[in-house]
Amino acid sequence: MNKAEIVFKAIDVLGHAPQNAKSFEGITCIKDISYGTDDLQKGDLYFKNGINKDGAKKPIVLYIHGGGFIKGDKKHRVTVSEYYANEDCFVFSINYRLPPEVEIFGQISDCVSALNYIKILAENYNIDTDNIFITGDSSGSCQTTFLAAIKYDDELRVKLGCPEVKVDIKGLMLMSGIYDVEALVKHIKLFGVIPQTAEMILKFKLKSDLSNLNEYEFYDYMSPSKFVNSKWCPVFISWAEDDIFCKGQGEAMSLALKMCIDDVTTYSVKGILNNHCYHLFLKSNKYAEECMKKSVDFINTQKEKVLQEK
C-alpha cells in the first residue's frame, strides 16, 4: 500500500470502535444485498423490527460511506445507519468499487445503481419512494452531491458517462464533505496524501507540484459544487469549522447552495475536538447527537411537505 492507502486504512481501523460504540435495540439488518454484479456492489438494509406491520410507507436513506475515495466500508457505519433506522427510516448503506478498479466517476455510477435499486427494494418493503434521501460523509458526501448534480444536469451526466438517476430525490444530508476537489488538491497537502489520493481516484499521472492538474480530461467536472442549480432538491449540510481534511468546504458549498435554492439547512461546529466527520461519534460527542437529530428533523420536514402536496 502507498502512503495514502495506509493513512485512510488507519483511519478506518482506528475509527471503527468509537464510531460504532452506540447501538440501538430492535433493529434488523439484512446484509450484502447485491445491487450490481461486482462483489463490492452490495448494501446492507436496516429497519426497525415490525416496520412493515402497519402498512404505512417509510422514508429511505441511501448511505454512502467515506474513506478518501480509496478506502472505507459500510461495516464502519453501523451506528449511524441504526440511528436513522431507529427514527423510522429504512437505510440502505452501500459499498462501491474502489481504485484501482475504478476512478471517481465509476464510483458515482455505482452509487447511481444503488440509488435506482431502491425501486426494487420497495417491491418487498413498505418503502416510500416519494421520500428518498441520500447522505454520506467525507468523500461519500462528495458522491452524494454528484448524484444530485447528474440528476439535475443531464448534459453533465452524459459527459461523465454515468447512468440516469431514475428515482426522485427528496433531500440530501451532506456531512463533512468534499465539494471542490480542485481546491482540496491544491491547498491541502497533508504530507503528500491528498495529491497521491487524487492521482489514484482520477487515474491521471500528476506532477509532484500538481502543475499539470488542469490537463486532466475532466478537470472542469471534478467539483460538484460548480453544478448546483435551481432544480436541486432541499439540502441539510453540516461541517466542522476546524476540519483537518475539508476546512472551508462546507462553508463554500452552503453559499453555492443558497445562491440557487431556498431550502438549505446548515449546522456547523467549532473546536479541534469537533473535527472531520464528528457526527459519527454518537456516544462520545454531544454535537454528533445534535447534528443527527437536526438531520432527522430535516427528513421529517420534507416528509410533511410530501403529505401536503398529496
On whether residue 308 sits in a domain, the answer given is: no
Structural domain that includes position 15: 3-301
On whether residue 32 sits in a domain, the answer given is: yes
- Judged against a pLDDT cut of 60, whether residue 191 lies above it is answered with no
The residue-averaged pLDDT of 77-106 equals: 96
The residue-averaged pLDDT of 196-201 equals: 83
* 169: Cβ contacts below 8 Å, ≥ 6 apart: 115, 132, 133, 134, 147, 148, 151, 233
On whether residue 309 sits in a domain, the answer given is: no
Task: Give residue 135's pLDDT band: very low, low, confident or very high (50, 70, 90).
Answer: very high
In tens, the pLDDT along 276-308 reads 999 999 999 999 999 999 999 999 999 888 777
DSSP H helical ranges for the chain:
3-19, 78-86, 104-121, 139-151, 154-160, 181-187, 193-202, 249-258, 286-309
The residue-averaged pLDDT of 29-55 equals: 94
Count of the separate structural domains present in the chain = 1
Residue 159: other Cβ atoms inside 10 A: 14
Cβ-contact 92, 144 below 8 angstroms: no
Question: How far apart are the C-alpha atoms of 10 and 23, rounded to whole Å?
Answer: 23
* 126: Cβ contacts below 8 Å, ≥ 6 apart: 51, 52, 55, 56, 57, 58
- In this prediction, residue 64 carries a pLDDT of 98
- In this prediction, residue 189 carries a pLDDT of 59
Task: Give residue 186's pLDDT band: very low, low, confident or very high (50, 70, 90).
Answer: low
On whether residue 310 sits in a domain, the answer given is: no
Regarding predicted confidence, which is higher, 19 or 55?
19
Residue 63 backbone phi and psi in degrees, to 5: -110, 125
- In this prediction, residue 192 carries a pLDDT of 65
- Judged against a pLDDT cut of 70, whether residue 134 lies above it is answered with yes
- Judged against a pLDDT cut of 80, whether residue 37 lies above it is answered with yes
Question: How far apart are the C-alpha atoms of 290 and 296, rounded to whole Å?
Answer: 10
**Torsion angle of the four alpha carbons 122, 126, 130, 134, in this order, in degrees rounded to the nearest 10:** -70
On whether residue 275 sits in a domain, the answer given is: yes
Q: What is the CATH number of the domain that holds 282?
A: 3.40.50.1820
On whether residue 307 sits in a domain, the answer given is: no
- In this prediction, residue 154 carries a pLDDT of 96
- Burial (CB < 10 A; 0-12, 13-18, 19+), residue 122, is middle
Mean pLDDT value across the chain: 93
Percent of the chain with pLDDT over 90: 78
Grid coordinates in use for 139?
468523500
- In this prediction, residue 159 carries a pLDDT of 95
Give the side-chain half-sphere CA count within 13 A for 248.
7
